[in-house]
């Protein structure tokens, strides 16, 4: 807890409601009253450790009621899923089951005009339309569903989670207590509404490397920056192994991910986008893309359906494939953004340039026609023994994926202010476990990472006023890393300036971007 005095006159935490869904005044007042009731129960219950009670009663969170479109947009930006969900939480405080995991600092607090000290816990989004549909599906009142979603979201801000079964059990019990105190409890419905979406792979059969396969080989995915290569990879694997950003040149290294079936194995190589390089790092990135295409069994060229004709990048890649007599499949992405027969001219313009093995219009975002694409790729691969155990999904280490997940949030939160002249170097990755019999049963992972930028001005932007920006980056990255690792994560970030690091061989080697890796 902070060593300085905390002045506050509140007796209950506040849930400040915001109407972003054009609700009537009467409707908005109704749902705001539910939020106030939830806040009262949590403030007077035992959902936080005793030493945090005063902070809790002098805290607030902002709850916005949003439309389907808004929550879908947030899911795309923050979680890379095209889905309407009922709620989203964005914590600001490092907590675990109501207990602080990192000591509060002075800049964590806000001062009111009256001189009181308030602690912002974070932000919540709730889609009332989705809540209404779920209430009807579960057969209970809309009031109960809204109260449950608010309680669930506030508990997330207080460090409760459902990533692991043990965590989920604690969170469900807390939810039951809140709903019971409001006279809305239903144990059966709470169990059904639990948001644990983790897939159980316990029945998967492991096929070792060397097992005969009808089709097995490497597929290099090439294309211009921001065409959707990483989005496709993440959709196919069902997990986040490549970061996604609306900015180009997000992927910097060749990322191998493995798609397995009982009779086939595709090793995808997600390559950096091909562009005109302006630094040694970017030249290395482009070289990696070309080399992957040349060495692969089949090449998947991705193009953007919104552009009627191939551009210079696509023409350049097609010429490379011609020179090396490569088997090429064309995937025309973002077909969901075209209407009617507008796809036909695009297909015709590409078909005139190369004898493609097949041309498949897809949407990597929604998954449309991706199954068809996988079948086409599979048939193009040779008969070969399995190259990797079927349990393997990527050659990226947990450290490498963690580094990329941190960099993704830097790109997201700093928007256009900080360009791609930024790297993340994991300097510490320590696993902790109370289980002395199973070395793989870890309770948490402590990660230290350096954020490398090129200018002092960029460092200031990344840290933000009173450290708020680096805190948001760290919190969002930590949540994604926890989903990937399946355990709690303590993340420490440090920002360092290294001028012109993108042209420095020493730094490029340190960040895995050297020419020697080719």
287: exposed, middle or buried (Cβ count in 10 Å: 0-12, 13-18, 19+): middle
CA angle, residues 493, 495, 498, in degrees to nearest 5: 140
177: exposed, middle or buried (Cβ count in 10 Å: 0-12, 13-18, 19+): middle
- DSSP per residue over 459-503, as a string? HHHHH-GGGHHHHHHHHHHHHHHHHHHTSEEEEEEEEEE-TTGGG
CA distance 132 to 137: 9
Amino acid 320: pLDDT: 84
Q: Token match 């960029």: residue? A: 458
Amino acid 201: pLDDT: 34
CA distance 187 to 169: 12
pTM above 0.85, yes or no: no
Q: Token match 């350096």: residue? A: 450
Residue 255 · residue 394 · CB < 8 Å: yes
CA distance 172 to 191: 7
CA distance 446 to 78: 23
Helix, strand or coil for residue 248? coil
Amino acid 60: pLDDT: 93
CA distance 59 to 43: 10
Q: What is the pLDDT along the chain (518 residues), one digit of tens a residue?
A: 443 344 545 568 899 999 887 889 899 999 999 999 999 999 888 899 877 877 888 899 999 999 999 999 988 888 778 888 999 999 999 898 998 988 888 888 888 777 788 899 999 999 999 999 988 877 778 999 999 999 999 999 999 988 777 788 889 889 988 988 888 876 444 344 433 333 333 334 467 888 888 999 989 888 887 788 878 887 887 654 443 444 334 443 445 788 888 889 998 887 664 434 344 444 544 455 566 567 789 999 999 888 888 888 888 888 888 888 889 999 999 888 877 678 889 999 999 999 999 999 998 888 888 889 999 999 999 998 988 887 777 766 788 888 888 888 888 787 655 656 678 888 898 888 765 444 456 788 899 999 888 888 888 888 988 888 899 899 988 988 887 777 889 999 999 888 776 776 776 666 565 454 44
**Sign of the CA dihedral with 173 first, then 176, 180, and 185 last:** negative
- Report the length, in residues, of the chain: 518
Amino acid 311: pLDDT: 87
Amino acid 278: pLDDT: 42
Q: Domains (ranges, CATH) in the chain?
A: 14-193 (3.40.390.30), 212-385 (3.40.50.300), 398-517 (3.30.300.20)
Q: Token match 């040694």: residue? A: 280
Query: Cβ contacts of residue 462 below 8 Å, gap of 6+?
Result: 410, 414, 418, 422, 451, 453, 469, 470, 473, 495
6: left (phi over 0), alpha (psi -120 to 50) or beta: beta
Cα–Cα distances (Å) from 411 to 65, 244, 415, 459, 482, in that order, read: 26, 9, 6, 13, 19
> What is the number of other CB atoms lying within 10 angstroms of the CB of residue 470?
19
> What is the number of other CB atoms lying within 10 angstroms of the CB of residue 157?
22
Query: Cβ contacts of residue 274 below 8 Å, gap of 6+?
Result: 222, 223, 224, 225, 286, 289, 290, 313, 316, 317
């Amino acid at each position: 807890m902070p060593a300085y005095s905390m002045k506050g006159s509140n007796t209950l935490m506040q849930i400040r409601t915001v109407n972003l869904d054009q609700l009537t005044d009467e409707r908005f007042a109704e749902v705001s009253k539910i939020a106030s009731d939830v806040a009262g129960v949590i403030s007077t219950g035992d959902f936080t450790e005793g030493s945090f009670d005063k902070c809790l009663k002098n805290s607030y969170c902002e709850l916005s009621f949003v439309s389907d479109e808004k929550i879908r947009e947030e899911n795309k930006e923050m979680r890379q899923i095209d889905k309407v969900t009922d709620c989203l939480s964005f914590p600001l405080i490092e907590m675990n089951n109501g207990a602080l995991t990192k000591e509060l600092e002075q800049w964590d607090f806000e001062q009111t005009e009256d001189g009181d000290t308030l602690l912002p816990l974070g932000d919540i989004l709730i889609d009332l339309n989705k809540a209404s549909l779920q209430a009807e599906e579960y057969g209970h009142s809309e009031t109960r569903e809204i109260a449950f979603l608010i309680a669930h979201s506030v508990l997330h801000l207080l460090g409760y989670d459902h990533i692991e079964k043990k965590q989920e059990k604690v969170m469900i019990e807390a939810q039951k207590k809140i709903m019971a105190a409001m006279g809305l409890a239903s144990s059966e419905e709470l169990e059904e509404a639990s948001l644990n979406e983790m897939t159980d792979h316990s029945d998967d059969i492991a096929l070792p490397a060397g097992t005969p396969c009808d089709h097995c080989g490497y597929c290099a995915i090439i294309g211009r920056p921001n065409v959707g290569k990483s989005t496709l990879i993440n959709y196919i694997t069902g997990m986040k192994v490549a970061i996604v950003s609306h900015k180009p040149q997000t992927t910097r290294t060749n990322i191998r991910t493995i798609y397995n079936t009982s009779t086939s194995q595709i090793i995808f190589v997600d390559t950096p986008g091909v562009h005109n390089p302006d630094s040694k790092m970017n030249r290395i990135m482009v070289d990696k893309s070309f080399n992957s295409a040349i060495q692969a069994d089949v090449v998947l060229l991705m193009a953007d359906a919104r552009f009627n004709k191939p551009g210079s990048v696509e023409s350049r890649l097609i010429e490379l494939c011609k020179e090396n007599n490569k088997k090429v499949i064309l995937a025309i992405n973002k077909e969901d953004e075209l209407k009617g027969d507008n796809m036909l001219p695009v297909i015709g313009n590409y078909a005139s340039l190369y004898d493609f093995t097949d041309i498949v219009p897809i949407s990597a975002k929604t998954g449309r026609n991706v199954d068809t694409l996988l079948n086409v790729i599979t048939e193009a691969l040779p008969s070969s023994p399995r190259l990797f155990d079927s349990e393997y999904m990527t050659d990226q280490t947990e450290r490498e994926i963690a580094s990329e997940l941190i960099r993704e949030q830097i790109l997201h939160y700093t928007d256009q202010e900080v360009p791609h002249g930024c790297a993340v170097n994991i300097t510490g990755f320590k696993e902790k476990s109370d289980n002395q019999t199973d070395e793989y049963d870890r309770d948490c992972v402590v990660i230290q990472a350096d954020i490398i930028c090129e200018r002092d001005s960029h460092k200031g932007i990344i840290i933000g006023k009173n450290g708020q920006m680096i805190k948001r980056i760290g919190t969002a990255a930590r949540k994604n890393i926890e989903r990937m690792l399946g355990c709690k994560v303590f993340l420490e970030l440090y920002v360092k300036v290294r001028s012109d690091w993108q042209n420095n061989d020493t730094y490029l080697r340190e960040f895995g971007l050297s020419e020697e890796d080719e």
